Amino acid sequence: MNSVQYQYKPEHLAVSEPNKYNSSNLRTEEMVLSMGPQHPSTHGVLRLEVVTDGEVVVDVVPHLGYLHRCFEKHAESLPFNQIIPYVDRLDYLGAMNSEHAYVMGVERMLGIQDDIPKRVEYIRVLVAELNRIASHFIAIGTYAMDIGAYTPFLWLVRDREHILRMLEWTCGARMLYNYIWIGGLFYDLPVGFEERCAEFVKYLRPKLQELQQLVIDNKIFIQRTANVGVLPLPVAINYGCTGPVLRGSGLRYDLRRVDGYSVYPELDFEVPIGEGKVGTPGDCWDRNWVRVAECWESLKIIEQCLDQLNGNYKRTRDFDPQAMVPKKIRPKAMDFYSRGESTKGELGFFFRTDGRSDVPFRCKARSCCYHNLSVIGEISRGGLLADLVANIGSIDVVMGEVDR
């Protein structure tokens, strides 16, 4: 055994995790606070270097990498179909939507996107929208708890449990599904799923109305979030923000409409945007209102999918959800980018293939949470330290997708 003992040196910390600010570039009245990576309101292992002047935030610098899992390096050594379980672990609160975006990219590279059965496409959209509601429930519930309201979190977790049980009934997993496969699905919907899902839609509508009254229209919630963390639309665009963060600033940009992928062009739904109804467009209240409004729209989409699955594309004995699943996945040599509207925004995948192997030469994930998180300094400067927690929660980041 080596008798030389390791000696800790204070400068090691500065080398491994250096601060942007130090005593040489701070004014006398300023100080640096480290918020996280264990702070409960950072929504994961996120560390924020906060420069304060009393209670006023001067600057916020996010420090990433505490949850790095080498997704892109793993993808360079796995066949296309075996990457799907790792895709689930990016945004683990909206795994169905992540799978959908990834699988569509591979199918387009193979040229089989037009051969996917319509029943498969409607099931994909159905489970993705169920997952979108479940993800938004966590975003809204934890946000309310961040700023002092505990009851909404319990109510939303209760209603989210119904969705998780239905998805578990579908594929056996509650969060990390591996359900949407390249060319099809792991399995068809269980017998009776459509009826149970229709009952859930009827159950959830009055619950969403209660949520609107309990949280969004609540006087205290409005005072805590209106005119706080205002993100102007030009700043959101320049930082590459997408999803509810961008739409909360007033831009009606949703890839389900812009790109019109899967069967979304055949469905009727609106794209809600922030309008500054109780404050300034792009504030924390607008971002949360957009998520609640999207839950209503997802219910409309789910009902239309159920109508199609019970009507034109109903269950048949000879239906095989894996009929188009290729045994060997070897796209031609190309560089290809595919994207989809996940629960947090635009999730994209860049592929580089050599035409010979079923393993991608490169598979890079474009994280919407990474871009959305980058505006935390812009919306926090000049605000109060107490509002920093409100700003973080309104962005709704999942660090598993930020760090990848």
With tokens 């505990």, the residue in question is: 150
Q: Region 373-386: what's the mean pLDDT?
A: 90
Whether residue 38 is contained in a domain is answered as: no
Q: Region 48-75: what's the mean pLDDT?
A: 88
Say how many domains are in the chain.
1
Instruction: Write out the H or E segment, with its range, that includes residue 47.
Output: strand 47-53
Is the pLDDT at 257 greater than 60? The verdict is yes
Whether residue 390 is contained in a domain is answered as: yes
pLDDT per position as a tens digit, 22-50? 777 777 788 888 887 887 777 888 888 88
CATH classification of the domain holding 372: 1.10.645.10
Band of pLDDT at residue 1, cut at 50, 70 and 90: very low
Is the pLDDT at 6 greater than 70? The verdict is no
Instruction: Write out the H or E segment, with its range, that includes residue 60.
Output: strand 56-63
Domain that holds residue 118: 71-403
Question: How much is the pTM?
Answer: 0.92
Whether residue 373 is contained in a domain is answered as: yes
Q: Tell me which residue of 235, 265, 233 sits closest to 247, measured CA to CA.
A: 233
Separation in Å, CA 275 to CA 200, 211, 217, 286: 30, 20, 15, 7
Is the pLDDT at 318 greater than 50? The verdict is yes
Is the pLDDT at 268 greater than 60? The verdict is yes
Residue 30 CB contacts under 8 Å (≥ 6 apart), including other chains:
51, 52, 53, 58
pLDDT per position as a tens digit, 283-310? 999 999 999 999 999 999 999 999 999 9
Whether residue 47 is contained in a domain is answered as: no
Q: Region 147-151: what's the mean pLDDT?
A: 87
pLDDT > 90 fraction of the chain, expressed in percent and rounded: 62
Lowest mean pLDDT among 100-104, 151-155, 275-279: 275-279
Is the pLDDT at 14 greater than 60? The verdict is no
Whether residue 333 is contained in a domain is answered as: yes
Whether residue 66 is contained in a domain is answered as: no
Whether residue 136 is contained in a domain is answered as: yes
